[in-house]
Amino acid sequence: MSAVPWQRRQVNYLLGDVIIALVSIHLANKVRFGWDAAHTDLLAVLTRSTGSSLFFVSSLLTALYLADAYNGSIDFRSRYEAVRTWSAVACALAFELLVFTVFPHGFWGRGVAGLSSLFAGIFLTAWRPFVCSISPGASFRMKTLVVGAGQAGHLVAGVLTRLQDVDGTYQLVGLVNHPRTANRRASD
């Protein structure tokens, strides 16, 4: 049995986010301690600061999850979604800095945490739109037809249109009159 497309999209996001977090840790250590420093190789960093690295990855993934960044129906090519992604990264960084301040005995400091978050934000805002361009969001939206073209139908259509602009879950196809309602109005 094959996976549903939106499930594949969520797995792509998750795997990409983990890889992005690890690459961000690697680049942050290279920038912070020097490109030629032997102790800045990713394996050396992960070995020496396993707890800090796992904490960074898990806090980033948790913040993205709380920001609904694993919703397969969202199209991340919009400016709103880029801001939401950066907000999640900023919240993860704030939490990391709080924990690193309370428990300062780890290998990482504010500089590595900040640089890792900066690189993660940059890569995430490129990665997610790329995934959306490979599998366009419109095919994952629920096509919705509102039955009833009266005042209530137009109200529902307006709400769906606003939801479509915000989270991309619904794609309004149109409004139609119910046949009984149309016949009743014609006889009046």
What's the pLDDT score for residue 102?
Answer: 84
What's the pLDDT score for residue 3?
Answer: 42
What's the pLDDT score for residue 44?
Answer: 77
- 49 and 16 assigned to the same domain: yes
Phi/psi of residue 167, nearest 5 degrees: -120, -5
- Comparing 89 with 133, the larger pLDDT belongs to 89
- 76 and 99 assigned to the same domain: yes
Q: Could you tell me the residue range of the domain that residue 30 belongs to?
A: 5-134
Alpha carbon distance 44, 183 (integer Å): 76
SS3 content of the chain, % helix, strand, coil (to 5): 70, 5, 20
**pLDDT at 105 exceeding the cut of 70:** no
**How distant, in Å, are the alpha carbons of 4, 99, 104, 147, 170 from that of 174?**
26, 50, 57, 9, 12
Percent over 90 (pLDDT), the chain: 28
pLDDT digits (tens, 9 = 90+) for 12-30: 899 999 999 999 998 988 8
In the block, tokens 């050396």 appear at 44
Percent over 70 (pLDDT), the chain: 78
- 145 and 70 assigned to the same domain: no
Number of domains in the chain: 2
- 120 and 156 assigned to the same domain: no
